[in-house]
Structure 1
Amino acid sequence: MLEQLTQLVQQYGGDAIVKNEAIPNELNQDVMQQAGSSIFTGLQKIASEGNMDQLAGLFQGNNATSGSNPVVQQLSEQLTGDLGQKFGLSTEAASGVAGSLIPNVLGSLINKAKDPNQKGFDIADIVSAISGGNGNSGLMDAISKYGGQFGLDQNNDGKVDMSDAMAAVTKKGGIGGIFGKLFGR
Structure 2
Amino acid sequence: MLDQLSALVKQYGDDAIVNNNAVPNQYNQEVLDEASSSIFTGLQQVLSQGGTQQLAEIFQGDNAASSNNAVVQQLSQQLSGNLGAKFGLDSATASGLAGSLVPKVLGALIGKAKNPNDSSLQISDIVNAIGGSNNSGLMDAISQYGAQFGLDQNNDGKVDMGDAMAAVNKKGGLGGLLGKFFGK
Q: Which bracket does the TM-score occupy, shorter chain normalised?
A: 0.7 to 0.9
Q: Could you list the runs of 5+ residues in structure 2 that have no partner in the other structure?
A: 168-173
- In the other structure, the counterpart of 1:38 is 38
- In the other structure, the counterpart of 1:102 is 102
Amino acid at match of 2:93: A
Residues 38-77 of structure 1 aligned to structure 2 (within 5 Å): 38-77=38-77
- In the other structure, the counterpart of 1:149 is 148
Contact 1:44 1:132 in 2 (8 A): no
- In the other structure, the counterpart of 2:170 is none
Contact 2:44 2:131 in 1 (8 A): yes
Shift of 1:17: 0.2
Distance in 2 between the 1:166 and 1:122 partners?
Answer: 16
Shift of 1:143: 1.9
Distance in 1 between the 2:14 and 2:137 partners?
Answer: 38
CA offsets 1:127-169 (integer angstroms, 9 cap, x no match) = 111112321134314422x122343324325xx24xx536348
Q: Could you list the runs of 5+ residues in structure 1 that have no partner in the other structure?
A: none
Identical pairs, percent:
55
CA offsets 1:67-121 (integer angstroms, 9 cap, x no match) = 1110110000000011111111111111111011011101111111111222432
Amino acid at match of 1:139: M
Distance 1:104 1:149, change over 3 A: same
CA offsets 1:22-61 (integer angstroms, 9 cap, x no match) = 1111110110011001000001111111211111111111
Distance in 2 between the 1:105 and 1:183 partners?
Answer: 21
Cα RMSD (Å) of the superposition? Answer: 2.5
- In the other structure, the counterpart of 2:171 is none
Amino acid at match of 1:112: K
State TM-score, norm by structure 1.
Answer: 0.83
Contact 1:123 1:183 in 2 (8 A): no
**Count of residue pairs brought into register by the alignment:** 175
Contact 2:56 2:141 in 1 (8 A): no
Moved over 6 A (4+): 169-172
Distance 1:119 1:139, change over 3 A: closer
